[in-house]
Copies of this chain bind each other. A is one copy, B any other.
C-alpha cells in the first residue's frame, strides 16, 4: 500500500508537470517538478553556474529557516525566558514574517535544545533548532512531504566556548564503536550530543536524541508518502546540520528517503576519515554555500587528536560547494561581515557565478540585510538593526504599569 501511494504521487506529479509544459503554463517556479534535482540527486550538476532560477528560490527558502531562529531567539538578559524562542512553534513562521507571499507551508513540530559549556563542568541549554514538516498545502509547491531540520549558528557565549574546542574526537554516538578512525570537532559533537542535568530541556535527551526521535516519528506518520529530509543550518548550525544529516543516514533513520543538507557559512567539521565516511553514504547530499569574504569554510584548519600531545590532524570540507561573492553587490556597505546569513541569501539572489558580476535575479528584499546589522548602504533608507520586538516585549497593563511579556508558551518540556 505504501509503495502504491508513493508511486501514484510521483506519477501524478510528473503528469501534471508534463501537461503544464504542453499547455505553456509556467508556475513562478518549477520546484514541485524538479525537487529531486534541486535536492542534489545529480549532485547539482548544471545548476550552480549559472545559478538556476528555481535553485535560487529553493536555497533562499531553506536559508530562511535558520534565520527564523535568529529572529525569534530571546537573548534578553533581563528575561527569565532568555535562551528560548519568543514565539510558539505554531506561530513561529507568522511572527518572523515567513507566512506572507510564501506557498511553502510547513508546520513546526519540535523545538530542539542543545547543551553547551558555560564552564568545563557546567552546561547551559538553549534553543538551537527545530523540526518541521510540509503541510498538505505546502506539499503541493514543494512536490513532496519535506521533513525540515534547521539549526542556528552561535549566539550564546557557552556555544562559543564549544566552538573553540577544535581538538578531534571519535563520534561514537553517530558511528558506533567502530568508527573507522573517524574524528570530528570536539565542541560541535559536544553540543550535538550532550545532556544537561540542570535543564529541563536536556535532562534526558540531547539535541541529537530530540531530532532523531522527531524525525522517526514523522517518518512513521508519513511513511506511505513521498518524503524527503532536508537539513539546513548556518555557521555552528551548519556544522550541526552536517553531523545531523550524516547521523540520519549512517543510522538509517531515513528509511532510504533522500537526505539533503544545505549549509550556509559552514566551518570544517572533521578530518579525512570523516570526509571518506560521508562519501560512502547513499541517499545523502550536502551542499556548502560559501561566500568569498567569509573565511569560515577554511576553519578550523587543523586540531590535535583529543588527549594527545602532538597528533595533529587536518580538517577537511565535505560535500559540494556553491561559491558566491557578495563583495560584488552594489547594495552593501564596504567591509560588511560576509558571514551574515541574510547577506548569504542576498548573494544567492544575485550571484552571476565566479566570473560574472552581481544582479538580483530573485527579488529578495534588500532591507532584510539590515535586520540585525548595518549592512545596507545608507542611501536605501533602512534603519540599522531594525528587527526588534515592540518595547523589547514590555507590555502596558490596564493600570498603566509595564511588564515583560516576551514568550509564547509551548506545551513541550512543561514539567
Identify the A interface with B (CB < 8 A): 76-80, 97, 100-102, 365, 367-368, 378, 381-384, 386-394, 396-404
Is there an interface contact between A400 and B100, defined as CB atoms closer than 8 Å?
yes
CA distance A382 to B78 in the complex (A): 5
Q: Across the interface, do B393 and A78 meet the contact criterion of CB distance under 8 Å?
A: no
**Distance, CA A131 to CA B148, complexed state (A):** 57
- CB <8 Å contact, A404 and B381: yes
In whole angstroms, what is the CA distance A102 to B401 when docked? 11
Instruction: Give A370 to B382 CA distance when docked, in angstroms.
Output: 26
Q: How far is the CB of A210 from chain B (nearest CB, A)?
A: 29
- Given contact pairs A392-B383, A396-B100, A368 touches B404 in the complex (Cβ within 8 A): no
Cβ contact within 8 Å between A391 and B387:
yes
Q: Which of B76, B367, B378 contacts A394 (CB 8 A)?
A: B367
Q: Is the interface of A mostly helix, strand, loop or mixed?
A: loop
Give the residues in chain B near A387, CB-CB below 8 Å: 391, 394
Instruction: Decide if A399 touches B100 in the complex (CB within 8 Å).
Output: yes
User: Judging by beta carbons under 8 Å apart, are B400 and A97 in contact?
Assistant: yes
16 further A-B pairs in the complex, CB-CB below 8 A; given A77-B384, A78-B382, A79-B383 = A77-B383, A78-B381, A80-B381, A97-B396, A100-B396, A100-B397, A100-B399, A101-B399, A365-B400, A367-B401, A386-B393, A386-B394, A387-B391, A388-B388, A388-B390, A388-B391
Instruction: Report the nearest B residue to A398, measured CB to CB.
Output: B100
Decide yes or no: A79 and B396 within 8 Å by CB, A367-B401, A390-B389, A401-B367 being known contacts. Answer: no
**How far is it, in angstroms, between the C-alpha of A401 and the C-alpha of B368 when the chains are bound?**
9
Residues of B with C-beta under 8 A to A386 = 391-394
A78 and B392 contacting across the interface, CB-CB below 8 Å: no
Contacts of A399 in B (CB 8 A): 100-101
- The smallest C-beta distance from A91 to any residue of chain B, in angstroms, reads 15
Q: How far is the CB of A232 from chain B (nearest CB, A)?
A: 19
Contact B76 A383, beta carbon cutoff 8 Å:
yes
Q: Which residues of B contact A76 (CB under 8 A)?
A: 383
Instruction: Output the residue of A97, A383, A393, A404 with the most chain B CB within 10 A.
Output: A383
Q: Name the B residues within 8 Å of A397 (CB-CB).
A: 100
B402, A367: Cβ atoms closer than 8 Å: yes
Please give, as numbers and ranges, the residues of chain B lying within 8 Å of A389 by CB-CB distance.
Answer: 390
How near does chain B come to A186, taking the closest CB pair, in angstroms? 34
